[in-house]
Structure 1
Amino acid sequence: MKKFKEKTEVVQGMGSLKLLEELKGEKVCIVTDSTMLELKMVNKVTDIFKNIDVKYEIFSEVEPDPSFDIVYKGLRHIIKNKPTVLVAVGGGSAIDAAKAIMFFCLKMKENLMGIEKIKKPHFIAIPTTSGTGSEVTSYSVISDKEKQKKFPIVDDLMVPDVAILDAEFTKSIPSGITADTGIDVLTHCLEAYVAKEASDFTDGLVEKGVSIVFEYLLKAYENGGDLEAREKMHNASCMAGIAFNNAGLGINHSLAHSLGSYFKIPHGRSNALLLPYVIEFNSKENPLIMSKYAHLAEKIGFPATTNEQGMKSLIKGINVLKEAMNIPQTISEVGVKEKDFQCVLKEMSEIALEDICTGGNPKKVTSKELEKIYQEAYRG
């Protein structure tokens, strides 16, 4: 038995922010980061609130790969201000932080940390990058800086009530971030397509999402002002989020979480470095999975006379796309020294094995197999 659910109301297209005008009379807390403030991206939201006399407070201490310390600071901020609406504005880090704040706020016992519980606020997520799909998922990834680990938290309490997809927020994203986040979308799609809980419902979202990525990602990379491409990638990111929230992910994300944590490589880029090798690994001695990759390759117009040809042409297409966007093909190319890599290889692999995403992979894996994938991704 498999289930498909989507709790979040998705509002998309230019002018979607007008939905915020319905919050008149509410008390709002905005969770974001300092960059969103500096670039005045948050002003798009606060200007609306000022016009309708909505009281709001801003928590802007979110950092890339948010830590538990930041979550606890945000928790205190939320408890102090007791908002009726929580609005997350930013990339995956801001939305993940807001989700984790919500999780601990609602899960904690009375007077934990010397603060009271509050009622669940209405939760609105406004992504400013097209990559994580966090605006529609029950996942949040929080870092433990001391242990150099990323901890995925999964709970339906964290699923936003509303996702506002307005591509205006993405116009000024640098090309490098556009590339990394775009490949993150592709990775979400490809992992969801072969994950254990994949279904006809998730497959349909994946197939559309992948076709959008290959048609529009390079356009968005080369011309950030191309609003059609930006809007399409924003939609693909959200569709991929719905797909993997239902189907699950796999070892690509487990390996990327560990690699990114140890060597401070952005999440999307970590996924990109590993993706071709994970596709090949999952296909070995697994005809059903290889056939799914081949079917997807055929859907997007790649050669797929045989399943093996389809799988390999999908990998080639990914590598060509990466090269066109100046994404390195190997871990060594991002500046990770081999001595440092080998020193933590076993530990990274063991952590990846225990990652929550590993359970969704179509093939069971061992720590040694994960080590081998890392080695292949390091050298190419």
Structure 2
Amino acid sequence: MKPIYIKTKIYQGTNALKRLESIQNKKIWIICDQFLVQNGNIEEVKNTLKGNNEVIIFSDVVPDPPLRVIQKGIIEIKKIKPDVIIGYGGGSAIDTAKGILYFAKKAKWTQDVKFIAIPTTSGTGSEVTSFTIVTDTQEKIKHTIVDDDLLPDETILDAKLTTTVPPKITANTGIDVLTHALEAYVSKNANAYSDALAEKAIELVLESLLKCYKNGKDEKARDLMHQASNLAGIAFNIAGLGIGHSIAHQLGGVFHVPHGLANAMVLNQVIEFNAKEEKAFNKYVDLAYKLGLVEHKDNKEFAMAVLLEVITSMKKIMDMPLTLKAYGINEDDIQTHKETMAENAIKDLCTTTNPRHATQGDILNIIEKL
């Protein structure tokens, strides 16, 4: 038995940010990065928070949220005692907010606080998941924390906030969405609910990602990608992920490869690995048929090949480096760290729901293919 738990209230569509206007007379702590402060982006949120609200900004967020930033945030939250916390930005901002909240609640330094997530990229789905990823920079390893207390109370999906995202980040975050949906779709814990969400997310990615990449101001395409990211997030929160994420976490922790790009690098190899398991193979094939990538008269092997080629073509069109060497990582460094990376990937929580059992040697083989 597995409960299907969707806690977060979602405000989606044109001018969804206006939801903030209903907050009155509260102490509000906004967690974001310096870039959103320096470019004035944060002002739109502050200006929407009308009434007698006290707004405080914590702008120390950096990619791959390190424990030192979360520790600083824990100290701040104890002093501030906010009524509302807003995680505003990409996945790193929302994950940082989650990490701070998680440890602050464990220490009983905060209890009754409303948590609102406002993503400005269409990628992580963190605004609707009970996951957060934190980085131990000394050990060069990412840790996954899973707790339903991490689920935001509300999320605001306003596509206008994503129209200034550069093409490279649009590509990385977009393939992250695709990876979330594909891994949830074949996960050991997949069910009818996660399948429905994942299928729709993949359909929307194929329809809109390249449009967003070519024209970032296309609000219709941006809105579809925002929805895709959100649906994929709910899907993997129900079903879990797989070894693609386990390996991507190592590439980020050791070599600082952006998370979405790391997923893009391993995605095809992971699909090929998982497809050796019959149930996963059939699900990939069914997906190709359902998406109209092939006709039902076409055989399964052809359908599988087309699915892989579509993914590869998207990555090439968006000029994404497909290997570690292409990204600029020295081969000697890869040789130095590959064994530890494989060992840590096996221990990663995401590995537990991969559809095919993977050994450390299997993970090592995928890393070497990169």
Distance 2:24 2:359 in 1: 54
Give the Cα–Cα distance (whole angstroms) in 1 for the partners of residues 82 and 2 of structure 2: 36
Q: 1 CA distance for matches of 2:41 and 2:227?
A: 20
2:292 aligned partner: 301
* Map of 1:289 onto structure 2: 280
Pick which of 132-141 and 327-336 moved more: 327-336
Partner of 2:141 in structure 1?
149
User: Distance in 2 between the 1:168 and 1:375 partners?
Assistant: 40
How many residues in Structure 1 have an aligned counterpart in Structure 2?
368
| Post-superposition CA distance 1:295-334 (Å, at most 9, x none) | 1111222126232222221111000000010012222211
SS class of match (1:176): helix
Q: State the 4+ residue runs in structure 1 displaced beyond 6 angstroms.
A: none
CA contact (8 A) 1:31 1:58 kept: yes
Residue deviations 1:204-239 (CA, integer Å, cap 9, x gap): 111111011111000000000000000100010000
Q: Among 341, 358, 364, which residue is 1:348 paired with? A: 341
3-state SS of 1:60 partner: strand
Alignment of 1:215-294 (within 5 A): 215-284=207-276, 286-294=277-285
8 Å Cα contact 1:294/1:306 also seen in 2: no
Tell me which amino acid in the other structure corresponds to 2:33. D
Deviation at 1:3, TM superposition (A): 2.6
Q: In 2, distance between residues paired with 1:258 and 1:371?
A: 12
Contact 2:205 2:228 in 1 (8 A): yes
Local SS of the residue matching 1:52: coil
Unaligned runs of 5+ in 1: 110-116
Asked if structure 2 preserves the Cα contact closer than 8 Å seen for 1:2 and 1:199, the reply is no
SS of 1:316 mapped into structure 2: helix
In 2, the alpha carbon distance for the partners of 1:151 and 1:120 equals 26
Secondary structure at the residue paired with 2:135? strand
TM-score by length of 2: 0.98
- What residue is the counterpart of 1:27 in the other structure? 27
The alignment's TM-score, normalised by the length of structure 1, stands at: 0.95
Shift of 1:102: 0.5
Inter-partner Cα distance in structure 2 for 1:55 and 1:339: 52
1:4-43 residue pairs with structure 2 within 5 A? 4-43=4-43
Secondary structure of the structure 2 residue equivalent to 1:336: coil
Q: Please state whether the residue corresponding to 2:189 is helix, strand or coil.
A: coil
Of 168, 186, 203, 1:211 maps to 203
Q: What is the correspondence of 1:315-334 to structure 2 with a 5 Å cutoff?
A: 315-334=308-327
Q: CA deviation at 1:118?
A: 2.3
Specify the alignment match of 1:114 in structure 2.
none
SS in 2 for 1:243: helix
- Identical amino acids, percent of aligned pairs: 45
Paired residues of 2:89 and 2:118 also in contact (CA < 8 A):
yes
Using the TM superposition, give the Cα deviation of residue 73 of structure 1 relative to its aligned residue in structure 2, in angstroms: 0.7
- Find out whether 1:139 has 2:140 as its counterpart: no
